[in-house]
Amino acid sequence: MRRVTGAATVRRGRVKLDLPPLVENGNSVALKVVVDSPMTPADHVKAIHVFAEMNPLPNVISLHFGPRSGRARIATRIRLADSQTVSAIAEMSDGSFWSGSADVVVTLAACLEEP
């Protein structure tokens, strides 16, 4: 996460993650992220970054936005290697960073590396 934010302070709020609290299979987990932003030229979301700390590659997805995007929201499916906390960081046009997180319990893991 520090590669994305650098030395900037990451504040909690403005970012809402919607994930099921319990998933049977980590191969395809529904994810929605919504950032509270007016999406004007002066105040908009520049990027949303999603992290799953227990995955072999923790930076799951990074999406870039502009003021003409209309809304700062995404809906996709991700793979989860294990039960964990999934976090999202929104980079705003003023240089601030906001975050949100959700806990997920995975009964059948995905993203496993072969020995």
pLDDT tens digits along 45-87: 999 999 999 999 999 999 999 988 989 999 999 999 899 999 9
Domain ranges of the chain: 9-106
On the question of pLDDT at 107 being above 90, the answer is no
On the question of pLDDT at 113 being above 60, the answer is no
- Residue 47: count other Cβ atoms within 10 Å of its Cβ: 16
* Comparison of pLDDT for 25 and 100, the residue scoring more: 100
Arch. (CATH architecture) of 9-106: Sandwich (2.60)
Whole-model pTM: value is 0.88
The pLDDT score that the predictor gives to residue 76 is 96
The pLDDT score that the predictor gives to residue 93 is 94
First vs last C-alpha separation in the chain: 27
